[in-house]
Chains A and B, each alone.
Chain A
Amino acid sequence: QQQVKQSPQSLIVQKGGISIINCAYENTAFDYFPWYQQFPGKGPALLIAIRPDVSEKKEGRFTISFNKSAKQFSLHIMDSQPGDSATYFCAASPQSARQLTFGSGTQLTVLP
């Protein structure tokens, strides 16, 4: 079963704090792991992505950590800001696949 399990379903963080969202997968053929960000009233947009040949990828305040042996990956948002309040989706796919498998989403609220 090509599932990606995402937690938590919702997250509330104070401004300046660290937001952490976790995802786990089962299919060992997955080798591409993107995160999408969705603001209210908008469609999701690609935020950051990682391949399993690296354990971490950082873009500004956003970092993906990847643990291949545990089949887990996570999104860390450092110095979280109210403007980061959105729904975040992890996803995974084998490189050869035409489609992504998405997690169930995490609604992040950053309090001012």
Chain B
Amino acid sequence: DVKVTQSSRYLVKRTGEKVFLECVQDMDHENMFWYRQDPGLGLRLIYFSYDVKMKEKGDIPEGYSVSREKKERFSLILESASTNQTSMYLCASRAWAASNQPQHFGDGTRLSIL
């Protein structure tokens, strides 16, 4: 089974801090994704990466950046955290770049910005 591991289940940070969310997958998948999940808004794509060092903006990239230096690891960075970034963050991986391949999700990081 594919395992996608997010480094923290819960995280509390302060406004203005630089925040790092880490995600690791163990199946040598090419594609990785970062979403945020908010009630009534579903899953919104922040960034995705289709290969090492490659990235594309999703629907809501403002205030975020990403890093993918190794195939198994995809990091989401909040450059200067703000209260409106309080949310559930989900990482996912997919074998290759075809939409009909299933995305495998981690269990999420609930981030609170105070």
Residues of chain A whose beta carbon lies under 8 Å from any beta carbon of chain B:
6, 9, 32, 34, 41-46, 49, 51, 89, 93-100, 102-105
Query: In the bound complex, do residue B105 and residue A45 qualify as a contact, i.e. CB atoms below 8 Å apart?
Result: yes
Q: How large is the interface on B (under 10, 10 to 19, 20 to 34, 35 or more residues)?
A: 20 to 34
Q: Is B43 among interface residues, defined by CB-CB distance under 8 A? A: yes
Interfacial chain B residues near A41, Cβ < 8 Å: 107
How far apart sit A51 and B98, CA to CA, in the bound complex (Å)? 14
Q: Is B28 among interface residues, defined by CB-CB distance under 8 A? A: no
What total count of A-B pairs have CB within 8 Å? 59
Query: In the bound complex, do residue B90 and residue A43 qualify as a contact, i.e. CB atoms below 8 Å apart?
Result: yes
Q: B99 — nearest CB in chain A belongs to which residue? A: A93
B76 to chain A, nearest CB (A): 15
Query: In the bound complex, do residue A99 and residue B42 qualify as a contact, i.e. CB atoms below 8 Å apart?
Result: no
How far apart sit A43 and B50, CA to CA, in the bound complex (Å)? 21
How far apart sit A41 and B92, CA to CA, in the bound complex (Å)? 15
17 A-B pairs with C-beta separation under 8 A: A32-B99, A34-B102, A41-B107, A43-B4, A43-B90, A43-B92, A43-B108, A51-B100, A94-B99, A95-B98, A98-B31, A98-B50, A99-B33, A102-B42, A104-B41, A105-B42, A105-B43
